[in-house]
């Protein structure tokens, strides 16, 4: 298990590994464009080479791309669906260029269709994204907090999508701890962590769990309100995260922080995770 955080690419993608190293990351995550929208980044051969060299020199062998937030494969607007398909495919192509391990994305909202229809639309969208794709970067679905008609708050919903696709490049799930807690799953102590991991295994199989977003939650279990907190300062607490980072079934899964950037930011939370891993 390695620890890391979501870092900025300000000044160029080649700066992301520098930012990650400065705060003590062992792995890292980034956006390649504005999360709210915007053009595809203009990556030059020089940018890519500098990025790869920096990752190698700073001993950061694994890193990930988070797709933009505007993705919605269950929209009734064809333009939105087409734009979402195109954006994720672009992220996969960029990921293959820079040798990123995964691209993760949120499927979207079924607010204008039924849940069953929305899940089917997401699966069909992913099939189009992966049609003809031969790159090395793999695609992950990230679970949601379940606000409104957002898809993917229950493990069974994600399982239905993956089962419908059966594609070698859709390899599993990025599990956000805060989102799953806010959608009703319990992570507050060892017994709860054992139970939730068992639920995930029954619904999807643990082989589908590829990475974790390690975020505490500012809101209560089942709140469906997506608000991240510093590790140990939210409703999940230190006891829950101690059980997570020391769980034998999670020991090969890397953790990425997306916690607030106040009170010492990622450095503080990385230090907290390390202390928990050593039993302190």
35/125: higher pLDDT: 125
Residue 141 within a domain: yes
In three-state secondary structure terms, 30 is strand
Which domain, by its residues, includes 97?
Answer: 64-254
Give dist(CA 87, CA 257) in Å, integer: 24
Residue 230 lies in a domain: yes
Confidence of residue 280 (pLDDT cuts 50, 70, 90): low
Is 2 within 8 Å of 277 (Cβ atoms)?
no
Residue 55 lies in a domain: no
The full DSSP string for 200-258 is: HHHHT-GGGEEEEE--EESS-TT-----EE-TTSSSSHHHHHHHHHT-GGGTT-EEEE-
Which residues, 6 or more positions from 65, have their beta carbon under 8 angstroms from its beta carbon? 29, 30, 31, 32, 91, 94, 95, 100, 102, 103, 104, 137
Residue 17 domain-assigned (yes or no): no
We report the CATH number of the domain holding residue 170 as 3.20.20.150
Residue 250 lies in a domain: yes
The Cα–Cα gap between 93 and 237 comes to 38
CA nearest neighbour of 63 among 74, 54, 72: 54
Question: According to the model, what pLDDT value does residue 31 have?
Answer: 95
* pLDDT tens string 44-90: 999 999 999 999 999 999 999 999 999 999 999 999 999 999 999 99
pLDDT of 42 above 90? no
Instruction: Answer whether residue 274 is part of any domain.
Output: no
Q: How many domains does the chain have?
A: 1
Q: What is the pLDDT of residues 201-219, one digit of tens each?
A: 999 999 999 999 999 999 9
Within a domain: 174 = yes
CA–CA–CA angle 150, 205, 139 (5° rounding): 55
What mean pLDDT is predicted for residues 122-149?
A: 94
Within 13 Å of residue 65, how many CA atoms lie on the same side as its CB? 27
Nearest to 174 by CA among 219, 135, 143: 143
Task: Say yes or no to pLDDT of 13 above 80.
Answer: yes
**Alpha helices (H) along the chain:** 16-22, 45-57, 78-98, 115-130, 155-165, 177-182, 190-203, 237-245, 265-277
Q: What's the first-to-final CA gap in the chain, in angstroms?
A: 17
Q: Are residues 193 and 247 in contact, defined by beta-carbon separation less than 8 angstroms?
A: yes
Distance separating alpha carbons of residues 207 and 123, to the nearest angstrom? 20
Asked if residue 277 is part of any domain, the answer here is: no
Please, are residues 98 and 136 in contact by the beta-carbon 8 Å criterion? Answer: no
């Amino acid at each position: 298990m390695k620890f890391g955080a979501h870092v900025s690419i300000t000044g160029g993608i080649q700066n992301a590994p520098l930012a990650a190293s400065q705060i003590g990351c062992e792995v890292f995550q980034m956006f390649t464009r504005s999360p709210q929208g915007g053009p595809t980044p203009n990556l030059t051969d020089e940018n890519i080479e500098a990025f790869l060299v920096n990752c190698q020199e700073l001993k950061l062998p694994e890193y990930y791309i988070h797709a933009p937030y505007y993705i919605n494969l269950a929209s009734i607007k064809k333009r939105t669906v087409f734009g979402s398909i195109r954006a994720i495919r672009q992220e996969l192509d960029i990921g293959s260029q820079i040798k990123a391990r995964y691209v993760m994305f949120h499927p979207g909202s079924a607010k204008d269709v039924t849940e069953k229809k929305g899940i089917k639309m997401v699966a069909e969208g992913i099939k189009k994204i992966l049609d003809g794709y031969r790159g090395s970067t793999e695609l992950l679905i990230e679970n949601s907090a379940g606000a409104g008609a957002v898809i993917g708050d229950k493990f069974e919903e994600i399982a239905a999508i993956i089962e419908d696709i059966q594609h070698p490049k859709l390899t599993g799930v990025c599990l956000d701890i805060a989102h799953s807690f806010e959608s009703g799953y319990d992570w507050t102590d060892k017994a709860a962590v054992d139970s939730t991991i068992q639920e995930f295994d029954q619904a999807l199989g643990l082989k589908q769990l590829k990475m974790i977003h390690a975020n505490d939650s500012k809101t209560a279990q089942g709140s469906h309100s997506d608000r991240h907190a510093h590790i140990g300062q939210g409703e999940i607490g230190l006891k829950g995260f101690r059980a997570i980072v020391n769980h034998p079934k999670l020991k090969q899964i890397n953790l990425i922080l997306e916690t607030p950037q106040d009170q010492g930011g990622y450095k503080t939370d990385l230090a907290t995770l390390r202390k928990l891993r050593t039993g302190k």
